[in-house]
Amino acid sequence: PKIDFRTAFKEILSNHKLNILNIIAMLKTMVQSSCFILLPFLWKNMGHRPIYIGTALFMFIFAGGIASLASGFVEKRIGAKNVFYISMISTLPLMVLFILTYQKFSILSLVIFVITGFVTMMATPVTMVMAQRVLPEYKSIIAGFINGFSWGVIAIVMSALGFVAENFGITKVLLLVAIIPAVCSILIKELFKD
C-alpha cells in the first residue's frame, strides 16, 4: 500500500517508545563513533604504527559483528531488557579500565577495547527489531531512523566532541561518552514498563 510519509513521520516521531529506542541507538552510535574517530589519534600520539591502529579497529568492528549475530541467542536466554542493560551500563567500567591500562598495558587495553565493541553493538539488532514491532506498518522507515538518523545526529555531535577532545583530552571525552549511556540506562525501565 502507498505510504503517506507525512503521516508516517508524525506517528514515528510522536511515539514514546520509538523516541526512547532512537535515543538508545544514538547513545550507542556515539560510543562507537568516538572509539572509531578519537582513539586512532590517541594511539598515534603514543607512537603506535598504522597497522596496530587498523588491526585494533578491525577487531572492535569484528567483535561488534559477532555480537550482532549472537544477540538473538543472548536475548532468548536473558531477555531483551537485560541485553539493553548490559550493553549500556558495561561501557562505563570497560572504558575506565581501558583508560587505566592503555599506557602501560597495551595488550590488556586492546582486549578491553575489543570487549567494548562486543557489548556496545550487542543490543543493535534488538533495538531494531523492537522498534519495528512498535509500528510494523513502517518497518523500512523505522530502520532508516534507527540506523541513518542516529548516525546523522551523532555526526553533528562528533564535531563538538572533537573540539572538547582537542581542548581537554581524548580520554576525558571517552569517559564522558561512556558515562552518558550508563546514566541514560534509566530509560530502559521506561521502555519495558508495560
pLDDT tens by residue, 80-134: 999 999 999 999 999 999 999 999 998 999 999 999 999 999 988 998 888 888 8
Rounded to 5°, the CA angle 35-173-37 comes to 30
Cβ-Cβ contacts under 8 Å for 20 (sequence gap 6 or more): 187, 190, 191
pLDDT tens by residue, 18-59: 889 988 888 888 998 999 899 999 999 999 999 999 999 999
Q: What is the pTM of this model?
A: 0.88
Q: Map residue 70 onto helix, strand or coil.
A: helix
Cell numbers for 57: 579497529
Residue 143, pLDDT score: 85
Closest CA to 127 of 179, 75, 91: 75
Cell numbers for 46: 603514543
φ and ψ at residue 46, rounded to 5 degrees = -80, -10
Q: Map residue 193 onto helix, strand or coil.
A: coil
Rg, Å, the chain Cα set? 17
Q: How confident is the model at residue 1 (pLDDT cuts 50, 70, 90)?
A: low
Q: How confident is the model at residue 61 (pLDDT cuts 50, 70, 90)?
A: very high
